[in-house]
Amino acid sequence: MFKLPKPLLAMALLAAFTAEVAYAENYQIGTPATAVQIAGWDIDIRPDGKGLPAGSGNAINGEEGYEIFCASCHGVFGEGEGRWPVLAGGEGTLEDDRPVKTVGSYWPYASTLFDYIRRAMPFNAPLSLNDQQVYDITAYVLYLNDLIEEDFELSQDNLAHVKMPNEDGFFEDNRPDVSNPRCMTDCADPSRLMMQTSLAGVTPIGHFVEGADAPAASHSDQHDLEASKEAERKAAITGEEMATSVNQDITLMSTQALAGEATYKTACGSCHGSGLAGAPKLGDAEAWSKRLEKGNDLLIIHALEGYAGSEGYMPAKGGRTDLTDEAVINAVLFIVESQQ
Amino acid sequence: MNVPSTHQLLQTLQSASEHLSTNDRRDFLRRGMSYAAGAAAVGVSTMASTAALNSNLPPNEPQWGRQLGTGVVENPYGHPSPHESQVVRRTVPWLTAESVSSISMSPIQDLKGIITPNGLVFERYHSGVPNINPDEHRLMIHGLVDNPLIFTMEDLMRFPSVSEIRFIECPANGGMEWRGPQMEALQFTHGMLSCCEWTGVPLKVLLDAVGIQTKGKWVLAEGADGAHMSRSIPIEKVLDDTLVVYAQNGEMLRPEQGYPLRLINPGWEGNTSIKWLRRIEVGDQPWHHREETSKYTDLMADGRARRFTFAQECNSVITTPCPENPIVRKGFLEVEGLAWTGRGKIKGVDISFNGGVSWRPAQLKGLVLDKALTRFSFSTQWQGEAWLIQSRAYDDSGYVQPTLAQLREQRGVNSIYHKNSIHTWQVGPAGEVKNVQIT
């Protein structure tokens, strides 16, 4: 071990004993953010159009992108699929018992649409669209709400001027809006009090999902429940006997497929369990049969490199680029063998 | 023969009922709970007279006293006792379409004191939990500032730190019950609520470092998650008490809570406390983004909507008894609960046993902190009476927690958020507790 000679050690200690420490608040911490760094992250748009990138787009060009990236959740006409948000319609319903809050009926500014599509959509691959696609799809959603014409060229210069019907429907927080006196005795007439016990079938709205059924123990159980109801519905229509089980006996699976189950659960299940973004659901024999006909190689290529088509959208590796190719391939085999 | 404790029975019932539908489960639990209550009563008398039934009870030496236990670092990061496995976050799957854009509730019916353990803090994600390497995480502050800066985690942790105990609550807490009671447990009526000691740097200190310009009136806070969750926050709040935190309850943030960095806007709706915080922009007006227009605005009966409803107003709920904690024994009972307000400190809580006809003051106990959960208590006797039990908190701003009728009269039933009305539990003759509303 390195040792200081004794005289030097004494000098070092002397220095420590005589140190004067000043109180200081001049931190000088942090590194200057360069213009290039800021430009990369500064994605926000304001109602006055500040932040909009150069460019323009229209609904005619937006239709294809909307159908690939959006329609599987939001519906071909913005009517919403399953329990995903409705984008269009609902005009004049805000005072109704069950208001329908959409871009057209509720949102105060068109800028919010551009901002949100760019920062968070498509749901499974945020920030993957280029500015041209965002302009086109924004125009298409505004068109679905009858707010612009199909050929209207929505641009950096005019987006802020698209007047939204409900712009004036908002007011600033004015709470407290109620005042309850701190009464201690005879605060109510017991004979006039009504007690309401649990209401069956009162479903939450708006922030939550309307028309939802009884709760299941987990989202995965919920999806299973919905899948079995859908199978029942289809069977009732076709008169066919229902498939008895969607769960393959795992003892018959290959080693690779078994290894892929964990990846499926953590990475693939959020879309292939629910049908998000048009993903064929695990166990949906009809949806998988035509894909399986084309062979495992094509499925694996789509899983690794991504797929965009009329039936849905999947980013490369489902957006989980941290996964190895092997893990993705095993997960594909798990899905394939689950169908057999 | 072992006589199971009520607690163990409830735990067994809980797990045995998990596959059942709501109605079946409700019946199952109700039957199970009365069985548990009966068994506990039998258990007490049996144990008193014939202790030989349980070899772990006096006068016998319990089994764990006659052997060695496990050693150090058996669990390098410890877990709760396996006997507490029912104390977990739970969700209501039909609320949302997918688990990655969803919410879970804290088991506030089982928690003690005012601090929520890190693994039980309620979750709310808009695009799931990102897996962030702290070495690659940056906080950028720019906009109407003199010197835009980028901070590493190491930079942020060099600033003098502050630690504050503050609650965080989703404004949708209780929002499923505007039209009527429909949740069958406290965890689901009030569990979008947690309280932690947060450690970090006041945002004001960071804004001083970049030099905020006089035109700067609002800031935009943005997350690094897939949703790039964003909210506009007025500068007055930011300069008052907003924190940029990296730790909770003594350890670094949990991924679910924004690891490695999040904002805390004390007393304000939880979604403004942006998780996985990566960017703050100073501007001269709000941005009106999706989570402050389409969502988190409060629709009134006349079709107009309140926006930027930041404060979580004064609220309270009784946690003992509650549907998950029925009264199992006659005699002494400490009625206990939680109160909180986003506008300051809880000043007091009153309790009614008759649906709000008359009220008695409860005691506040333990720490009474600004914008933190506060415990209240009322010691009494229960002899099988039917109760309609309520709590009504008031804060140091003079605001008294309102009735549901008052809120409905002002707002209608479609505002979803900010339902902070007085809550009622119905206690039945067997000590069972149901969620009801009094109007």
Q: What is the pLDDT of residues B25-76, one digit of tens each?
A: 444 444 444 444 433 333 333 334 444 468 999 999 999 999 999 999 999 9
Q: Decide if B270 is inside a domain.
A: yes
pLDDT value, residue A82 = 75
| CB contact B129 to A (< 8 Å) | no
Q: Which of A26-30, A130-134, A203-207, A320-324 has the lowest mean pLDDT?
A: A203-207
Residues B117 and B251 in one domain: yes
* Nearest chain B alpha carbon to A120: B227
Determine the average pLDDT of the residues in B257-282.
98
Distances (CA, A) of B344 to A25, A164, A181, B173: 29, 38, 19, 19
Same domain, B121 and B259: yes
Taking contacts as CB-CB distances below 8 angstroms, the residues of chain B near A276 are 98
The confidence score (pLDDT) of residue B3 equals 40
Q: Do B406 and A270 make contact, defined as CB atoms within 8 angstroms?
A: no
Q: What is the CATH number of the domain that holds B384?
A: 2.60.40.650
Chain Cα centroid distance, residue B318: 13
pLDDT band at B276 (very low <50, low <70, confident <90, very high): very high
Nearest to A112 among B19, B278, B293 (CB): B293
pTM of the model: 0.83
Q: Which of residues A168, A184, A217 is at a domain's end?
A: A168
Domains held by chain A: number: 2
Q: Report the distance separating Cα B401 and Cα B186, nearest Å.
A: 18
User: Is there a single domain that holds both residue B231 and residue B297?
Assistant: yes
Residue whose tokens read 């959006």 = A70
Q: Is the ipTM of this complex over 0.90?
A: no
Query: Would A235 be classed as within a structural domain?
Result: no
- A62, A162: one domain: yes
- Whether B273 and B332 map to the same domain: the answer is no
Which residues 47-86 of B have a C-beta within 8 angstroms of A?
Answer: none
Backbone region of residue A286 per phi and psi (left: phi > 0; alpha: psi in -120 to 50; beta: other values):
alpha
Q: Are residues A259 and A164 in the same domain?
A: no
pLDDT of residue B28: 44
User: How far is it, in rounded angstroms, from Cα B131 to Cα B134?
Assistant: 9
Question: Nearest residue on chain B to A48, judged by CA atoms?
Answer: B287
The domain boundary residue, chosen from A130, A153, A168: A168
Write b or e for each residue in B260-295: b if 16 or more Cβ atoms lie within 10 A of its Cβ, otherwise e: bbbbbbbbbbbbbbbbbbbbbbbbeebbbbbbbbbb
Show the tokens assigned to B335. 């009625």
Nearest Cβ partner for B94 among A101, A182, A212: A212
Q: Which of chain B's residues have a Cβ under 8 Å away from the Cβ of A116?
A: 289-290, 294
Quick one: B298 and B184 in the same domain?
A: yes
Closest Cα to residue A115, out of A58, A50, A37? A50
Q: What is chain B's length?
A: 439
Best of A28, A29, A124 to disrupt the B interface (most B CBs within 10 Å) is A29
Of the candidates A148, A168, A188, which is a domain's last residue? A168
Residues of chain A found within 8 Å of residue B303, distances taken between Cβ atoms = 94-95, 99, 169
- The answer to whether the beta carbons of residues B232 and B219 sit under 8 Å apart is yes
Longest Cα–Cα distance in chain B: 79
| Residue B147 to residue B211: CA distance in whole angstroms | 6
From the number of C-beta atoms within 10 Å of its C-beta (0-12, 13-18, 19+), residue A233 rates as exposed
A-chain residues within 8 Å CB-CB of B356? 187-188, 193
**Which pLDDT score is estimated for A234?**
62
pLDDT at residue B8 tops 80:
no
| Residue A103 within any structural domain of the chain | yes
Residues B121 and B147 in one domain: yes
- Chosen domain end from B279, B306, B333: B306
Instruction: Please report the pLDDT score of residue A40 as a whole number.
Output: 97
Same domain for B422 and B349: yes
Contact criterion met (CB below 8 Å) for A269 and A334: no
Nearest by CB to residue A178, choosing from B297, B354, B407, is B407
For residue B406, give its domain range. Answer: 315-436
pLDDT band per the 50, 70, 90 thresholds, residue B407: very high
Note whether B313 contacts A94, CB cutoff 8 Å.
no
Q: What is the pLDDT of residue A181?
A: 97
Q: Specify whether B158 is located in the same domain as B40.
A: no
- Cα–chain-centroid distance for residue A285? 26
Which residues, other chains included, contact A211 with Cβ-Cβ below 8 Å and sequence gap of 6+?
A203
Same domain, B374 and B251: no
Please judge whether B140 and A33 are an interchain contact, meaning their C-beta atoms are less than 8 angstroms apart.
yes
Q: What's the pLDDT score for residue A264?
A: 84
Least-confidence region, from A1-5, A101-105, A212-216: A212-216
DSSP letter at B322 equals B
Q: Which of A169, A215, A274 comes nearest B304 by C-beta?
A: A169
DSSP A44-75: ---TT-TTPPS-EE-HHHHHHHHHHHTHHHH-
- Cα separation, B367 vs B272, whole angstroms: 26
The answer to whether the CB atoms of B289 and A173 lie below 8 A apart is no
The Cα B70–Cα B86 span in angstroms is 23
Query: The CATH number of the domain where A116 resides is what?
Result: 1.10.760.10
Q: Is residue A292 part of a domain?
A: yes
Among B306, B340, B373, the domain boundary falls at B306
Closest CA to A111 of A160, A60, A174: A160
Contact B420, B169 (CB under 8 A): no
Look up residue B352 and give its two tokens: 């009614």
Q: Answer yes or no: do B280 and B203 share one domain.
A: yes
Both structure tokens of A206: 């708006």
Residue B17, token pair as written in the block: 């009922």
Residue A234 counted as domain residue: no
One-letter amino acid at B74 equals: E
- Chain B residues close to A38, C-beta within 8 Å: 140, 142, 148
Q: Residue A264 has which token pair?
A: 């499926």
B223: CATH: 3.90.420.10
Query: What total of structural domains would you count in chain B?
Result: 3
Q: Is residue B422 part of a domain?
A: yes
In a domain, A319, yes or no: yes
pLDDT tens, position by position, B348-396: 999 999 999 999 999 999 999 999 999 999 999 999 999 999 999 999 9
What is d(CA B408, CA B414) in angstroms, rounded to the nearest whole number? 9
User: For residue A41, what pLDDT is reported?
Assistant: 98
Provide the total of helices (H) and of strands (E) in chain A, helices listed first: 12, 7
Which domain range does residue A319 map to? 250-339
Does residue B115 share a domain with residue B44? Answer: no
Burial class (CB in 10 A: 0-12, 13-18, 19+), A238: exposed
Q: Which has more confidence, A246 or B409?
A: B409
> Measured between CB atoms, which of B21, B290, B394 is closest to A116?
B290
Mutate which of B89, B271, B299 to test chain A, going by most A C-beta atoms within 10 A?
A: B299
Asked whether residue B83 is domain-assigned, the answer is no
Q: How close does chain A come to B100, measured CA to CA in Å?
A: 7
A254 shares a domain with A159: no
pLDDT digit string, tens, across residues B66-92: 999 999 999 999 999 999 999 999 988
Flag whether A200 is in a domain: no
Q: How far is A2 from chain B (nearest CA, A)?
A: 31
pLDDT at A17: 80
* pLDDT at site B36: 42
Q: Which residue in A47, A188, A206 is closest to B357 by CB distance?
A: A188
Distances (CA, A) of B73 to B69, B78, B81, B250: 12, 8, 15, 19
In a domain, A259, yes or no: yes
| pLDDT averaged over every residue in chain A | 83
Chain A interface includes B166 (CB < 8 A): no
DSSP 3-state assignment of B140? strand
Average pLDDT over residues B327-338: 97
CB atoms within 10 A of CB B429: 8
Instruction: Tell whether B21 is within 8 A of chain A (Cβ).
Output: yes
Chain B positions touching A274 (Cβ under 8 A) are 97-98
- Write the CB contacts of B325 (distance below 8 Å, at least 6 apart in sequence): B109, B186, B319, B433
Q: Distance (Å, rounded) from C-alpha A75 to C-alpha A145?
A: 13
* Of residues A37, A27, A116, A119, the one with CA closest to residue B142: A37
Residue A17 token pair: 């004993």
Does B303 touch chain A if contact means CB atoms closer than 8 Å? yes
C-beta atoms of B94 and A202 within 8 A: no
Residues listed for chain A? 340
As beta bridge partners, residue B145 has B212
Query: Quick check: B150 contacting A, CB < 8 Å?
Result: yes
Chain B: nearest CA to A47, how far in angstroms? 7
Among A245, A229, A231, A331, smallest CA distance to A286 is for A231
- Provide the 8-state DSSP code for B398: S
What is the pLDDT, as a whole number, of residue A212?
36
In a domain, B67, yes or no: no
